[in-house]
Amino acid sequence: MFFKPDDAEARGIGIIDELIELVGLLEGGSMAGIITTDALSQVVLQYSTIANALNSEVPVYYLAPTNSFSLKLLSKLTDRRDVLLGRVYSMDDLATALKTVQDDSLVFVSNFSVLINIKSEDMLILRKIVDDKNLMLVLSHNTLELNELDLTGEFKRLFIIPELFELLMVMRTNSYRGHYRLNLSILKVPSEFIGNIGEHSIPIDSKAKLFLR
């Protein structure tokens, strides 16, 4: 099936406000694969993305194989709590969940790469569902074991077909004398932001301290 590009401004959400100038917005029909290497960067990613969607009145679904969601942490960024939670343990579970969510929604999946039976054909099925339902899908994985010398290989290991994603990024936090920075390795972005591929470091003092109190 062929279609003409839409000139209308697409609706999207910022993964993290401080990153919008670097990677733009996650638009409908888009997938982001994000690796975090510490608990703070995972918390900042997860709750910032979900809060931004809720504040933009985008329906939000949070899926994970564990009970890893905190309304207390979400309340640090938004007064809205209308996020729907679900458990997924396999790619079949995830595909079934995506077929039931509301169109034009944000779906945030935590610890994606521990799901069983992740195969290439399943990733293509996810991609088709995202396109058909105009979803914003974030597949995240937090790991302490990451080969920093072969990030392309790590994305292939954790997300199987990295070519299917609009955004690929590694996030890490570090601190020095009470100040916090988010260090980024950006491997893939929408074409308008191609000049930002590479390494970046941005201050996130106010956001980090919200979660550390």
pLDDT, tens digit (0-9, with 9 covering 90-100), for 155-209: 999 999 999 999 999 999 999 888 999 999 999 999 999 999 999 999 999 899 8
Question: What CATH number does the domain located at 27-212 have?
Answer: 3.40.50.300
Distance of CA 116 to the CA centre of its chain: 20
Distance of CA 207 to the CA centre of its chain: 17
pTM of this structure: 0.95
- Tens-place pLDDT, residues 45-59: 999 999 999 999 999
- Tens-place pLDDT, residues 67-106: 889 999 999 999 999 999 999 999 999 999 999 999 999 9
> Mean pLDDT over residues 118-137, rounded?
97
Residue type, 37: T
- Tens-place pLDDT, residues 5-33: 665 556 799 999 999 999 999 999 999 99
Average per-residue pLDDT for the chain = 94
- Taking the C-alpha atoms of residue 96 and residue 100, their distance in angstroms, rounded to an integer, is 7
> Mean pLDDT over residues 118-140, rounded?
97
**H helices of the chain, where?**
20-23, 39-55, 71-74, 91-100, 120-133, 151-159, 205-212
* For the chain, domain boundaries: 27-212
The DSSP bridge partners found for residue 26 are: 13
> Mean pLDDT over residues 114-141, rounded?
96
Structure tokens, 111: 């610890």
CA distances from 41 to 15, 81, 89, 183, 195 (A): 12, 21, 23, 9, 24
Report the pLDDT value the prediction gives residue 89, as an integer from 0 to 100: 97
Counting Cα atoms < 13 Å in the Cβ hemisphere of 16 gives: 21
The DSSP bridge partners found for residue 12 are: 27
